[in-house]
């Protein structure tokens, strides 16, 4: 299995494609991450890749796996990433 791209490899690929320096490519990645953190509450979309969505989970009853005793799991907010259809088709291929 191939290794995933590191941040510096990704920054250098972006810089090479856009004719920028590696430092500028890294700044683009940092700015993109900052935008995602700032706007995730309102849904942050990367066109063609997917979107970050803030989801409210309801409170529910769970079980302690060690004892089998029921426990109450409180409601909370979670962050999810939904992959775009275009990305799924490009990676997995169309049926």
Long-range contacts of 53-58 (CB under 8 A, 24+ apart): 53/79, 53/80, 53/81, 53/82, 54/78, 54/79, 54/80, 55/79, 55/80
Domains of the chain: 1-38 (no CATH), 43-95 (4.10.520.10)
pLDDT of residue 95: 65
Q: What is the DSSP secondary-structure string of the chain?
A: -PPPPPHHHHHHHHHHHHT--HHHHHHHHHHHHHHHHHHGGG-EEETTTEEEEEEEEPPEEEE-TTT--EEEEPPEEEEEEEE-HHHHHHHH---
Write the pLDDT tens digit of every residue in 47-83. Answer: 999 999 999 999 999 999 999 999 999 999 999 999 9
pLDDT of residue 1: 73
Prediction pTM value: 0.74
pLDDT of residue 9: 92
Write the pLDDT tens digit of every residue in 1-25. Answer: 788 889 999 999 999 999 999 999 9
């Amino acid at each position: 299995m191939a290794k995933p791209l590191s941040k510096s490899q990704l920054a250098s690929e972006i810089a090479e494609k856009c004719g920028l320096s590696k430092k500028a490519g890294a700044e683009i990645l940092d700015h993109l991450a900052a935008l995602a953190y700032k706007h995730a509450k309102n849904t942050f979309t990367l066109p063609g890749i997917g979107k970050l969505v803030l989801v409210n989970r309801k409170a529910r009853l769970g079980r302690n796996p060690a004892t089998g005793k029921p426990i109450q799991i409180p409601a909370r907010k979670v962050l999810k990433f939904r992959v775009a259809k275009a990305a799924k088709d490009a990676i997995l291929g169309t049926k």
